[in-house]
Amino acid sequence: MPIVLLALFTVGYAPPGNQTTQEKALETKWSEVSRDPEFPYSEIGLIYETVLDAMTERYFRDFPDLDAEHTDAMREFIRNEQPKATFITLMIRDKAVDIFRKAKENPPYWDSEEFQSAYELTVNVSVPMARMIVGNAIDLYVAKHVDKDPVKIELFKMAQSEDDKQCIAWVYEEVSIEKFKEDQLTGDYDFQDGDRVFGFSGGDWENLSGRQGYIIVRGGKIHETLVTLMN
């Protein structure tokens, strides 16, 4: 599908192919092109699978010694964390829900301006979202199954939510309460005896999905996750 290929190509996840072929494809009426019977839903799924394969391939290109042991396991982990069907549902929202349903049932509708506009918008949102979701899942897998940092393993047992687990994957060190107070510009935090503080920073800052902050541990559980900077 031209829009999907172009969207993936602009972020480095699809080959450019033959320019003449692309130009011809863009001039072809959508209803004249043979597609998966699940179109247009299948195209959003294609984005997810393409980004997942490309990002994991890049990771193991940087760490080839881990390839044989972890490639299949990492990809299975990511698909369990965020099933493709769930991703598709999350990406097709608001007015696009009815528009996509109508497009699946009525192929001539593919050529309508209403469908093409909704479809292009969904694709343009889906690519960066897939990058964020897959990137976060890679970080989580590495923390749990590759690095196996004892501090993070301890924190994972205390997690109260999926968001806690994601921030734990980005923990870089335990910090003193004094250091925490020095870094905070919004006033005093109400600490109790025995509280522990862990700094975290991670996510894809270039993709506008980075976060950093602190995890507060109290009574053997994650008491609060404070995000101090995000984009």
Delimit the domains of the chain by residue range.
Answer: 2-147, 150-230
| DSSP alpha helix (H) spans, 63-161 | 67-81, 84-91, 95-105, 113-141, 150-158
Residue pLDDT, tens place only, 32-86: 554 677 888 988 998 999 999 999 999 998 999 988 899 999 999 999 999 999 9
Residue among 210, 130, 208 nearest 170 (CA): 210
The answer to whether the peptide bond before residue 40 is cis (omega within 30 degrees of 0) is yes
Residue pLDDT, tens place only, 167-205: 999 999 999 988 888 877 555 788 899 999 999 999 877
What is the reported pTM?
A: 0.82
Strand-pair partners of 229: 212
